[in-house]
Structure 1
Amino acid sequence: MTLRPLAAAVALTSALALSACSSDDPDPVVADPTPSAPSSSADPTPSEDSAEPWEEKTPAGAEAFMDHWVEVFNTSFQGGDARPLRELATKDCDSCEPFADLIDSTYEGGGEIRGGGWTIATLTRSARSKTADETVTVTFKQPRMTVAPAGGEPQTSPAQKSTYVFDLDWAGGWAVSQMVLL
């Protein structure tokens, strides 16, 4: 293709565009563009946007995981579904099972657990255990709680503080491998 036919095509297109407007026609109405966030290669990818702090394999991620763990723990205790709590533990975390078992056995026949949720009073990273990727010591504020199994005698525990040491392992995400009450 030579330049002459290309130049003629550009000239013809320009002439047609200009001839479409006449002085008798009203000015075209053009909507203001809506502002949008500029796109750049520095913008995080969608997977980075959706990542939670506790989904990072860092010491800070391990600490943030404990905030997530207590949220899931409270939801499980109040709602009666221990599966999400179990999903935050390794398969060999024998010390994790009593909490999940209490939830299951209480709610199975229509029982309930009453009281507010646990909150973290203090959280510190501990000396790493020989078998864990991270170790944290957490002191929880526990409200007064009543465990009322279906057909059984309700048991009420007073408001208190308790301290646990959590060993955390990373396997594509943090998981509790052991928790010990101090």
Structure 2
Amino acid sequence: MAPRRPFCCSLLLICLLLLTGCGTSADADPASASTAASASADASAPPPTPDPRPTPASSRGPARNVPPPALPEAAKQNTAEGFEAFTQYWLDSVTYAFGSGDIEPLKLASSSSCQVCGRFIDQVRQLHDEGGWAAGPSWTVRSFTTDMTRDPSRQFLGRYLGIESTSVDYSSDGSIRRSFPGDPSGMSAAMRFSPLAAR
């Protein structure tokens, strides 16, 4: 549990100081009393200020201070370019969710009827509820095609090649839970699209 070690050490220090204070008597060694006082002062010092810099998920911990992906203006247009931009945005939202545990952008960009979306959301919840996190994967959209013709459900269908990076799931103690090799050659995938919602 690497991110929690400093907190555990602080608790241990405070417990030791309490035991020392209970055992101090009037004829105690002045040097020992001075040492205890000094340690007590250190324990009451304000905690270090958290690093405000964006830190992506890695073997050292989940993502911190990383902003969610921004929806491109192009993704708001009912055009082939907008469909492609939205597809990349949705995949970026999956990456962000796995690294940070924040599933809200992914939920907002996904239809409740999207089974793939639901599986990703469930995987993120389970991983982070157990104290874990993931570094990756990320995807890059290539060779996107669509004729922007609505199907009977009034949705658009697009097909693309998704280049997937390697990724690692970590347990709460920082150990590797699972690793995935990714797919640098790309995988064929399809996306159904209504404005601002993956299907």
Normalising by the smaller structure, the TM-score range is: 0.5 to 0.7
What amino acid is aligned across from residue 88 of structure 2 in structure 1? D
Displacement after TM superposition at 1:116 (Å) = 5.0
Displacement after TM superposition at 1:108 (Å) = 1.4
**Does residue 89 in structure 1 map to residue 136 in structure 2?**
no
What amino acid is aligned across from residue 143 of structure 1 in structure 2? S
Task: Write the distance in 2 (CA, Å) between the matches of 1:53 and 1:113.
Answer: 29
Task: Write the distance in 1 (CA, Å) between the matches of 2:130 and 2:72.
Answer: 38
**Does residue 138 in structure 1 map to residue 163 in structure 2?**
no
Give the match for residue 12 of structure 2: none
Displacement after TM superposition at 1:153 (Å) = 6.6
Task: Write the distance in 2 (CA, Å) between the matches of 1:68 and 1:124.
Answer: 16
Comparing 118-127 with 108-117, greater Cα deviation is found at 118-127
TM-score (norm 2): 0.55
Displacement after TM superposition at 1:71 (Å) = 2.2
Q: Is the 8 A contact 1:132 1:167 kept in 2?
A: no
Change in Cα spacing, 1:51 to 1:94, as seen in structure 2 (3 Å) is closer
Give the match for residue 181 of structure 2: 158
Comparing 109-118 with 97-106, greater Cα deviation is found at 109-118
Displacement after TM superposition at 1:129 (Å) = 3.5
Give the match for residue 133 of structure 2: 112
Q: Secondary structure of 2:110's partner?
A: coil
Q: Is the 8 A contact 2:146 2:157 kept in 1?
A: yes
Q: Is the 8 A contact 2:95 2:136 kept in 1?
A: no
Task: Write the distance in 2 (CA, Å) between the matches of 1:116 and 1:140.
Answer: 11
Change in Cα spacing, 1:99 to 1:109, as seen in structure 2 (3 Å) is same
Comparing 64-73 with 82-91, greater Cα deviation is found at 64-73
Task: Write the distance in 2 (CA, Å) between the matches of 1:167 and 1:106.
Answer: 27
Kindly name which structure, 1 or 2, has the bigger radius of gyration based on alpha carbons: 1
Give the match for residue 122 of structure 2: 101
Q: Is the 8 A contact 2:90 2:198 kept in 1?
A: no
Displacement after TM superposition at 1:94 (Å) = 2.2
Give the match for residue 84 of structure 2: 63
**Does residue 73 in structure 1 map to residue 91 in structure 2?**
no
Change in Cα spacing, 1:169 to 1:78, as seen in structure 2 (3 Å) is same
What amino acid is aligned across from residue 154 of structure 1 in structure 2? R
Task: Write the distance in 1 (CA, Å) between the matches of 2:131 and 2:157.
Answer: 36
- Describe the superposition over 1:90-144 as per-residue Cα deviations: whole angstroms up to 9, x where unpaired: 1222231111111111111320112452222332116654324211112211111
| Identity, % of aligned positions | 20
Change in Cα spacing, 1:128 to 1:112, as seen in structure 2 (3 Å) is same
Give the match for residue 53 of structure 1: 74
What amino acid is aligned across from residue 140 of structure 2 in structure 1? T
Show structure 1 runs of 5+ residues with no match. 1-49, 178-182
Displacement after TM superposition at 1:163 (Å) = 2.1
